[in-house]
Amino acid sequence: MPAVHPVGAVVVRGEQLALSTTVASLGIPPNCYQTRLYVPSTNFRLHVNPKIFGACMYDASAAAGSRFIAFTQNLTDRDTGTGTGSSLNSMATGDYIYVGFADTNGGLYVTVGNDNANGGVMAVTYYDGSAWSNITPTDNTTIFSASGTITWTAPTTWPTLPLDQILTTETNVPSTPAKWVRISTNTAADSTTSLTELWTLNKDTNRVYCYMGQEYNISFDLRQVGAIEAILASGTDTMDVSWVR
């Protein structure tokens, strides 16, 4: 019979997150319902961030019915520390990466596996209910040439819809209801470009206040939450992060 939570731990793991006056974040490993956070010597502020409901690449050169390449599980699987990787298959200028979220957010953190050597300029649009509208990203990955953030100002209205109801002329389109963005580039990625991890950033700065030298135990609703982020008012410190599954 299925487990009823709370249940005893099956897997525990730990890692550290370097903190500073720039937001630092971590995706929640699969099925980890709880975490214990500890920062020894500096007060910090904390957010939990929306879950990614779906991620896929649209390959315009593929045959109808085969254009959508799903890679959500690969990108959000942190059990190995680096994920299992998702190839962008020489992403061309007419291709897109679609990412769907549980809630409105302020961007993405991307861990790049193999760097894109071709550069270019990234465009990000969101589906506003009737069309794809510009969201004007700040791309600190430089089109996936390095790991980093892709941030934007969150839209005030962002409907939740299945992608197959948005892309009605395509077939075999993901049907998960979500808030969708579409990422594209003006220069084709090189043939080895790949991503290994992906999670959301929060749209707000009203993070909860947490105090140094105290342990914080948090339980997650994994139907809605997919990452944590933290920031310091000044200085640097290290957060001990213990995950429980």
User: Is it the case that residue 75 has pLDDT exceeding 80?
Assistant: no
Pick the CATH number of 12-49+203-244 from 2.60.120.10, 1.10.10.10, 1.10.540.10, 3.40.50.300: 2.60.120.10
User: What confidence tens digit (pLDDT) does each residue in 197-219 have?
Assistant: 899 999 999 999 999 999 999 99
Structure tokens at 245: 């599954």
Smallest Cα–Cα separation from 243: which of 36, 38, 40, 46?
A: 36
Model pLDDT, residue 74 = 65
User: What confidence tens digit (pLDDT) does each residue in 86-132 have?
Assistant: 888 789 999 999 999 999 999 999 999 889 999 899 999 999 999 99
Pick the CATH number of 52-201 from 2.40.160, 2.60.120, 2.30.110, 2.60.40: 2.60.120
Distance CA 26, CA 223 (A): 17
Structure tokens at 43: 């007060």
What is the DSSP secondary structure assignment for residue 212, as one 8-state letter? T
143 backbone φψ class: left, alpha, beta (φ>0; ψ -120 to 50): left
Model pLDDT, residue 60 = 94
Pick from 61-65, 138-142, 226-230, 240-244: least confident: 61-65
User: What confidence tens digit (pLDDT) does each residue in 14-57 have?
Assistant: 999 999 999 999 999 988 999 999 999 999 999 999 999 999 99
Average pLDDT over residues 178-184: 97
Smallest Cα–Cα separation from 189: which of 41, 57, 8, 42?
A: 57
Residues in the chain: 245
Task: Examine domains 12-49+203-244 and 52-201 and report if their fold is the same.
Answer: yes
Model pLDDT, residue 3 = 54
172 backbone φψ class: left, alpha, beta (φ>0; ψ -120 to 50): left
Distance CA 231, CA 209 (A): 10
User: What confidence tens digit (pLDDT) does each residue in 119-167 have?
Assistant: 899 999 999 999 999 999 999 999 999 999 999 999 999 999 999 999 9
78 backbone φψ class: left, alpha, beta (φ>0; ψ -120 to 50): alpha
- Residue 164, phi then psi, degrees to nearest 5: -70, -15
Smallest Cα–Cα separation from 120: which of 173, 185, 180, 197?
A: 185
Distance CA 25, CA 29 (A): 13
Domain ranges of the chain: 12-49+203-244, 52-201
User: Which residue type is seen at 116?
Assistant: N
Model pLDDT, residue 89 = 74
Confidence tier at 70 by pLDDT (50, 70, 90): confident
Model pLDDT, residue 7 = 67
Give the global pTM.
Answer: 0.92
Structure tokens at 7: 């249940």
Structure tokens at 215: 């342990």
